[in-house]
Amino acid sequence: MILEQIATGGCQSYLVGCSETSSAALIDPEIRQIDHYLALAARDGLRIRYLIDTHTHADHFSATRQLARQLAVPVVMHRESPAPFVDMRIGDGEMVLLGRLRLQVIYTPGHTRDSMCLLVEDSLFTGDTLLIGGTGRTDLPSGDPEALHDSLFRRVLTLDPELKIYPAHDYKGRQSSTIGQEIATNPRLQARDRDAFVDMMHNLNLSMPTHVTEALRTNMSGGKSVAQLLAEAAAKVPFMSLAELKRRVEAADGELIVLDVRERDAYETGHIPAARLLPRGQIELRVNQELPDPTRRILVCCELGHVSTLAAATLHEMGFACVVALDGGMKAWREAGYPLNSGREP
């Protein structure tokens, strides 16, 4: 078995491959690591055949949907997954065939209703069911501490103590553990009594993951995160630096239209000299009267550079071939001490 472990902050994902057939599966892939996964697969001579999420993630954005479109391979999740884009729904005791490897499902609800572990040879990919020195939390949507107790003490912890475990998260730089090590040292597994375990899980008082609402929305629906939208927009348009724009403003470059897409009050408080105001929410409705010549060179700016990137991509899609976005925003422009006008432009 070929195994590559990829860390993204505390998130862990895995490229598992069959050395005889060069076929591979990605387990719990994270959206920011797509190029890394593809590079690793190419380096190891592997072809990715399956994209597997061990559960619906609430703390990061899964790459399964995007990679499925890119590679034309199936997304695999447990039957309880709410995601409509899952191609292969799999149940307890069933397997995914990966060349000579067999990825066997152990259904382990508790962290979420659709949580599962994957047993492959001497390795167990535990998702968020069993972590190194911890367990998955149960206070997020579909979490159930009683179900997690059963999954741990009646399923996972009854397996071979020598099995290596590879969790979906670890925040201390640890790569793996074993069932036996966790039974002996994991503090959350010392409360073996069901009621004591449930009481412990109810009183962890953990903070909510960053972007939990957005992560659940995108991972359950296959929609796009804000970061994905920005990345896709940035790939469609070129950018201009603050210094280059300052040079053109000072040279009174009449060939360049500076389009400020903030709201009026922000614009009138301070804007780039000669900039026109066209709030982002009005572009589609007013673009024909405000920008009648689609061949003009247009630079789009906003407060931080994010909205202007989206707006520039929108204009590009509408037929403005010479639109660029400002690399930065008005906040950076002000901090650099560059010239500002206030009020309305004549």
Dig out the tokens for 116 from the structure. 């599962």
Contact indicator for 245, 272 with CB cutoff of 8 Å: yes
Q: What whole-number percentage of the chain has pLDDT above 70?
A: 100
Residue type, 6: I
Residue 131: is its pLDDT beyond 80?
A: yes
Q: What is the average per-residue pLDDT within 277-297?
A: 94
Pairing relationship of beta strands 239-240 and 177-178 according to DSSP bridges: unpaired
Contact indicator for 289, 267 with CB cutoff of 8 Å: no
Q: What whole-number percentage of the chain has pLDDT above 90?
A: 85
Residue 346: its pLDDT value, please? 64
> pLDDT, tens digit, for every residue of 105-129?
999 999 999 999 999 999 999 999 9
> pLDDT, tens digit, for every residue of 257-267?
999 999 999 99
Cα 97 to chain center, whole Å? Answer: 27
Residue 297: its pLDDT value, please? 95
pLDDT confidence bin for 219, thresholds 50/70/90:
confident
Q: Residue 44 in 3-state DSSP? A: coil
Q: What is the average per-residue pLDDT within 196-220?
A: 86
Dig out the tokens for 27 from the structure. 């387990």
As a whole number of angstroms, the distance between CA 153 and CA 264 comes to 60
Judge if pTM exceeds 0.95.
Answer: no
**DSSP 8-state class, residue 169:** B
Higher pLDDT, 172 or 243: 243
Query: Which of 141, 151, 310 lies closest to 230 in space, CA to CA?
Result: 310
As a whole number of angstroms, the distance between CA 212 and CA 197 comes to 25
pLDDT confidence bin for 192, thresholds 50/70/90:
confident
> pLDDT, tens digit, for every residue of 37-73?
999 999 999 999 999 999 999 888 899 999 999 999 9
Q: What is the average per-residue pLDDT within 179-192?
A: 94
